[in-house]
Amino acid sequence: MKKIYLLAFILVFNSNLFSHTNQEINLDYKTYNLNVPDKHPLDKTQYKKIILDNKLKVILVSNPDFNMSAASMHVNVGSISNPSEHQGLAHFLEHMLFLGTEKYPNVDDYSSYLAQNGGYSNAYTTSNHTNYHFEVYHNSFEGAIDRFSQFFISPLFTDEFTEREMNAVNSEHQKNLQNDWRRMYQLKNSHMKKGHPTNTFSTGNLETLKNVDRRVLVDFYNRYYSSNIMCLSLLGSDSIEQLESWAREYFSEVENKEIPYNSFDPVALDEKKLFRLLKMVPVKDEKYLSLSFPIPLRLYELYGSKPLSILGSTIGHEGSGSLLSLLKSKGLATSLSGGGSPSSRDFGSSSITIELTEEGLKNYEQVVKYCFSYIQMLKNSDYPLHIFKEEKALGQIGWAYSDKGEGTSLALSYANNLSFYPMDIAERVDYYYDKPNEESYRQILSYLRPDNMLCLLSDKGLKTDKVETWYGTKYSYLEVNSNFYKSLFNPSIESEMFLPEPNEFIPENFRIVPKFGFKEPQKIVDKKGEEIYLAQDNMFKRPKVVYNFNINLPLKYSELNNSVLLDFYIACVNESINEISYPARLALLDYSIAPSSTGISVYVSGYNESTEKLLSKISEHLNNYKITEERFENLKAKILKGFDNHKLTDAWRQTRSIRDQFLKNPYFSPSQKFQAGQTVTLEQVRDFSDDIFTNIFLKGLVYGNISRLSAIKEIKKFKMELGVGFTKGTEFIQEQSLEIDQAEEIIYETKSISNNSCFWKQYIYGNNSVDDFAASSLLQNFIRTPFYTEMRTKRQLGYIVWAGSSSRKQSTGLYFIIQSNSTSADQVSDIANSFIAKMPNMFRSMDSKTFKMIKSSAIDKLLEKSKSISEEASKIYSKLYIDMVPSNWEEIVIERLKALTKDEVGRVFESAISKQEQESITILFFGKDHDKSSSKANVKDIEFFKSNRDYK
């Protein structure tokens, strides 16, 4: 999938931060004397940066512990370089590079090679660059590098696929038409300074690309695709010497055209003594206020002091003294984000985006005043040195102990960093803090002014008089010089506003506890109502721990009304703890309090010293959350909007929800919850939660750098603060799955208000035995590429085309998904089913070499090591409580895979999809403009269907 990232390097902080009241804050400028290594003892990563003779910058990263090898190429051209007569050209060219090269002319050679070897590829276009990337198993890395390098040496740009891929770009645009953030982004860009490069349509569609032919593509490619403005990353388990050899062998032929880096007008918005206001009607029922401030500075050059990050950590703060805290207390807002990003090497922007309540919408001018009041407070205050010191300390800690990832996410980050930052710190620039720079911080603050602002207000009920060209957004635009506007230049500072206080969650103790003698998870609590496992980290040796608990509730809580009340209760808890929890997130902790399929999930992970504090605060708020009636009503409106807006999400997401409604019990759709939630009151939620923990079954896992005694101590403390109890004989919620014990094809149809249709077919077979799982993991590697090539590249049915395998406790399955803006669901179904029926024969005709490659990649997938403590904890938890398989499950499946023959897998494939034997569910989701030719459905009502079926 080639997804467009509209903003690069976004430093947005979901406003959630610290706490205090309106007294003088003790901003004790603490110096963190951290005893952390510059490099962790177990980190085997080696780095080398080189510049080839053609001036291509390359970063080489070798680590024998990588699961996958990966590569990324950064090209210093993006959508702001689109010619006005061919808007979207940079993005369209990105698509075309995947469709054959002189050395590898077959359109699916690259994708097939990667799929057969467990790989994956993608690309995206932002305002200022394009990035191509892939990952693959180590033994196939050189072959993938060879194919990848040809993108930048000899692409074909064939006429045959130019028109077809133009349709794919148009399908991608059609997919995004109901995305309010893209609509907002486009609307703001179109009202920047006339003639400025931001004033462009970035993704393109059939209208803007209709005159693009091979000549236009080649001209754009020759103009901007030059090795001297490209940067490459190669990451693998091979030695640095081998990686360098491949870089020189395969990329030295990329032509150096000595193209200079693009330079753009840094002033994106004319300075006007006027209040510029856009009013827009969104697709979803959501109320937003967005203030955008163009910044005419070379922001990438400020990597050492990171003033945008510091600013985001103040404006985006959510604790006492914050802008959001004030807005919530006045009943004007429910969430806020603040931050900024470079848009090119010459300019960037900062923004504040606020989700408004109904009262906030009515009084949006007052909300704008509060924003400028907070900005003025920042201007009047001392430079927040304590925030810089905290972020610098967290950078040091993160570089030493964090999971830096691998694969495409790391590769693209390194390639991009190589372009924008000095080569010597490209791998660590995200963690790098040099010295505080108050001058740059003040300079950025100086651009947060009313005469350098574009204000956007978004709500369903706004009156408008214009329609935006590319997304069809209804809007109006005003420029006024009112008394309100004039008041913004000299705002009074609210007494409740002040800088964040120091973060109590930043760890300073990094001791590794002694290891005990067993490797397998051990049950350390096993009694009535409790079952907790402990597994100690023997892989990573980081001072981190994970607590993953599931509070299993009695069966009565599985009813619709109780399920909705549980959603409201969890939302109240999260709202109550919000001001405390954000500094924990900043301090590299992760946590979640959420409804689960059987009750309540509580998850905390991070550094030992900090997780204990956070877990205690979570249990305190679970048992004693605090929320006012007014704030509850605003929260209720937000929850109900979330349920109701589901009908406006992507067609494939809505179709997935329908599938889950069939397969899972209990499961309630967003529309069911929307109806049931209308009458919920705070009193009902309080009554519901008063005794919720008096009869539970607590299950969970503690994993990481922790002793048995410490784990038991934390569990006891958690239970005591919750006041948990257990009643003998109670029946608890169990997630159950639809039982299909004979050949049956379930077909369901639904009409929607979406502009896309969706076909979703799920084949269900076997009982998720070792044989079933082994066969499906192998089949997944086979079906993905031919289905994608036929349905998307050749048939042009839609941008989203997926195929793969899935497993549940009782069964295994294969799925095929197509989202289409051009073709109705029943027509897509006919085309897809016809092709799927041919796939077993395609599988049987596969040569032995290809079968061996597919089998090898399936084995490699099972051999993949966890990349972090949290990932390993998740894997162990899933084996214990979700998949319920032995701890050595991978070894068992690998042994079966090794012995599996092509004939055996072929028989499984044929049986799974044959008309006579198949057990399947087909969801036909019809877009608003697509009519069905004739009904194929044999199920009309899902709830009636479920009431007559068994779930186990």
pLDDT digits (tens, 9 = 90+) for 397-417: 999 999 899 999 999 999 999
Place of tokens 């399920």: 563
| Strands (E) located in 297-426 | 333-342, 348-356
Q: What is the pLDDT of residue 753?
A: 94
3-class secondary-structure state, position 784: helix
In this structure, how many other beta carbons lie within 10 angstroms of the beta carbon of residue 148?
Answer: 27
The counts of H helices and E strands in the chain are: 30, 27
d(CA 916, CA 907): 14
In this structure, how many other beta carbons lie within 10 angstroms of the beta carbon of residue 87?
Answer: 21
Q: Quick one: how far is CA 674 from the chain centroid? A: 25
Name the residue type at position 165. E
Which DSSP string do the residues of 145-187 spell out, in sequence order?
HHHHHGGGT-B---HHHHHHHHHHHHHHHHHHTT-HHHHHHHH
d(CA 69, CA 242): 13
Question: Does the pLDDT at position 7 exceed 70?
Answer: no
User: The dihedral of CA 866, 870, 872, 876: what is its sign?
Assistant: negative
- 669-699 pLDDT, tens digit per residue, is 999 999 999 999 999 999 999 989 999 999 9
Q: What is the pLDDT of residue 13?
A: 32
Domain ranges of the chain: 46-251, 265-383+436-487, 522-735, 738-947
Question: Does the pLDDT at position 832 exceed 60?
Answer: yes
| Strands (E) located in 445-504 | 454-458, 466-467, 474-480
Question: Does the pLDDT at position 746 exceed 80?
Answer: yes
Q: What is the mean pLDDT of residues 325-340?
A: 96
Higher pLDDT, 854 or 16: 854
Higher pLDDT, 727 or 588: 588
Question: Does the pLDDT at position 370 exceed 70?
Answer: yes
d(CA 283, CA 473): 9
How is domain 522-735 classified at the CATH fold level? Cytochrome Bc1 Complex; Chain A, domain 1 (3.30.830)
Q: What is the mean pLDDT of residues 832-849?
A: 96
Q: What is the mean pLDDT of residues 541-553?
A: 97
Q: What is the mean pLDDT of residues 643-650?
A: 96
Mean pLDDT of the chain: 93
Q: What is the architecture, at CATH level 2, of domain 265-383+436-487?
A: 2-Layer Sandwich (3.30)
Q: How confident is the model at residue 173 (pLDDT cuts 50, 70, 90)?
A: very high
- Greatest alpha-carbon pair distance for the chain in Å reads 80
Q: What is the pLDDT of residue 728?
A: 83
- 372-398 pLDDT, tens digit per residue, is 999 999 999 999 999 999 999 999 999
Q: Is the peptide bond before 266 cis (omega within 30 degrees of 0)?
A: no
Q: How confident is the model at residue 896 (pLDDT cuts 50, 70, 90)?
A: very high
Question: Does the pLDDT at position 902 exceed 90?
Answer: yes
Q: Which residues contact 720 (CB under 8 A, 6 or more apart)?
A: none
Name the residue type at position 837. A
Q: Under a CB-based contact definition with an 8 Å cutoff, are residues 595 and 601 in contact?
A: yes
Q: What is the pLDDT of residue 3?
A: 32
Burial class (CB in 10 A: 0-12, 13-18, 19+), 687: exposed
- 44-76 pLDDT, tens digit per residue, is 999 999 999 999 999 999 999 999 999 999 999
User: The dihedral of CA 59, 64, 66, 69: what is its sign?
Assistant: positive
Q: Do domains 46-251 and 265-383+436-487 have the same CATH topology?
A: yes
Q: What is the pLDDT of residue 281?
A: 98
Q: How confident is the model at residue 464 (pLDDT cuts 50, 70, 90)?
A: very high
697-704, strands of its sheet edge to edge? 522-527, 530-536, 697-704, 544-552, 599-607, 590-596
Q: Quick one: how far is CA 673 from the chain centroid? A: 25
d(CA 505, CA 589): 9
Name the residue type at position 392. K
For the range 936-944, what are the long-range contacts, defined as Cβ-Cβ under 8 Å and sequence gap of 24 or more? 936/747, 936/749, 936/826, 936/829, 937/747, 937/748, 937/749, 938/745, 938/746, 938/747, 939/746, 939/747, 939/748, 942/658, 942/661, 942/662, 942/748
d(CA 424, CA 241): 19
Question: Does the pLDDT at position 443 exceed 60?
Answer: yes
* Of 718, 723, 717, residue with least CA distance to 690: 723
For the range 331-335, what are the long-range contacts, defined as Cβ-Cβ under 8 Å and sequence gap of 24 or more? 331/357, 331/359, 331/360, 331/630, 331/631, 331/634, 332/356, 332/357, 332/359, 332/360, 332/363, 332/366, 332/367, 332/370, 333/357, 333/360, 333/367, 334/634, 334/635, 334/638, 335/14, 335/15
Which class does domain 738-947 fall in? alpha beta
Structure tokens at 681: 């009151």
Higher pLDDT, 320 or 231: 231
Report CA Rg, the chain.
28
- 234-276 pLDDT, tens digit per residue, is 999 999 999 999 999 999 999 999 999 989 999 999 988 999 9
Structure tokens at 655: 């179709």
Beta bridge partners of 813: 764, 806
CATH number of the structural domain 46-251: 3.30.830.10
Q: Name the pTM for this structure.
A: 0.92
φ and ψ at residue 538, rounded to 5 degrees: -115, 5
3-class secondary-structure state, position 453: coil
3-class secondary-structure state, position 124: strand
d(CA 764, CA 742): 11
Q: What is the pLDDT of residue 17?
A: 30
Q: Quick one: how far is CA 613 from the chain centroid? A: 27
| DSSP H helical ranges for 319-384 | 323-329, 358-362, 364-380
d(CA 205, CA 17): 41
Lowest model confidence (mean pLDDT) among 160-164, 302-306, 793-797: 160-164
Q: What is the pLDDT of residue 935?
A: 84
Please give the helix or strand (H or E) that residue 438 lies within, else none: helix 438-446
Q: What is the pLDDT of residue 30?
A: 66
Structure tokens at 534: 């402990």
